[in-house]
Amino acid sequence: MTARPCKIFALVLASMMVLLFVSGQLIRADGPSPQPEAGAATVEKKAPKTKEERLRALQLEEAELTLRQKELMMKEKQADFGNMEALYNNKLVTLQEFNDAKKDMEEAILAYEQAKLNLQMWELESWTAAWHITIKDTIVKDEGDKKYMTITLVNTSEQVKLERTQRMIDEGIIAPVDTEVSPEINDIYVSIKENDSIISDPYEIYIPSLKLEDPVTLKFELIKDVESVVVSMRYEEQEEKRNIHLKKV
């Protein structure tokens, strides 16, 4: 075989190899996406927010926008009053115009202060679920002809910080305030029920304060022989009910 046919043969062979490689790439590109290997990490989708959670988030957003708007309005009215005061001092405007500008400024300041309070109240409202009491233990014990139930409660609340309020502070929209909220729970009322009927003596026990992770044990006399009860706890303007199956000692 001469040199020229060898070169032609080599070029044809190289061209065929290039075509085979390109075809393979196209097939892989058009084919199904590769599946993740077994054991590979996957990103889990977050559960959608409930209607109440979404509503609270929107109310918080509205409260922040309102605060920003009221802060701008307050600054505008303060500047207007400053200008009006200078004009009044030079006898260029009437006393009525001066007083009107002063009233507008004072109303804008009040609206700003109210918006500041509203933001903090809505932010606290959005954290309602952060305050939580856990029933650590319940025991039923016979003492003579009476039956007593002891229940141990623990404050397992989260540490709450008003993050939106802190952001407003960082941006200079409001003056510094304490944004750390104590997890301590005050004014707790505990009762033992069967359905909606109280079946204990005393009917209710009042706990003035429950500090974080500081357990408190309560003792009730059960005035009815039951295998399960409902522990009712009222605090933070809400009532929690827990169904408890009793264990005897």
Q: Are residues 151 and 211 in the same domain?
A: yes
Which domain CATH number covers 78?
Answer: 1.10.287
Q: Are residues 153 and 234 in the same domain?
A: yes
Per-residue pLDDT at 33: 45
Q: Is residue 111 part of a domain?
A: yes
**Six token digits for residue 54:** 């979404």
Q: Is residue 55 part of a domain?
A: yes
Q: Is residue 223 part of a domain?
A: yes
For 117-150, give one letter per residue: b (16+ CB within 10 A) or e. Answer: ebbbebbeebeeeebebeeeebebeeeeeebbbe
Number of separate domains in the chain? 2
Of 206, 209, 129, 120, nearest to 168 (Cα)?
120
Q: Are residues 187 and 145 in the same domain?
A: yes
Q: Are residues 151 and 240 in the same domain?
A: yes
Q: Is residue 22 part of a domain?
A: no
DSSP structural state of residue 92: -
Q: State the CB neighbour count (10 A cutoff) for residue 233.
A: 21
Q: Are residues 208 and 114 in the same domain?
A: no
Per-residue pLDDT at 227: 85
Q: Are residues 148 and 102 in the same domain?
A: no
**Domain residues for 193?**
133-159+182-245
How far, CA to CA in Å, does 217 sit from each of 60, 66, 144, 249? 38, 46, 21, 16
Kindly report, residue by residue over 110-134, the tens digit of the pLDDT. 999 999 999 999 998 888 778 899 9
First to last CA, the chain: 103
Kindly report, residue by residue over 176-185, the tens digit of the pLDDT. 989 998 899 9
Q: Which residues of the chain have pLDDT under 50?
A: 1-12, 14-15, 18-23, 25-44
Global model pTM greater than 0.85: no
Q: Are residues 202 and 145 in the same domain?
A: yes
Of 192, 182, 189, nearest to 207 (Cα)?
189
Cite the beta strand spans of 126-215 per DSSP E. 133-143, 146-155, 160-161, 180-181, 185-194, 197-198, 200-201, 205-210
Q: Are residues 91 and 155 in the same domain?
A: no
Per-residue pLDDT at 124: 87
* Contact yes or no for 211/157 (Cβ under 8 A): no
Q: Are residues 97 and 144 in the same domain?
A: no
Q: Is residue 34 part of a domain?
A: no
Which domain CATH number covers 222?
Answer: 2.60.40.10
Q: Are residues 151 and 87 in the same domain?
A: no
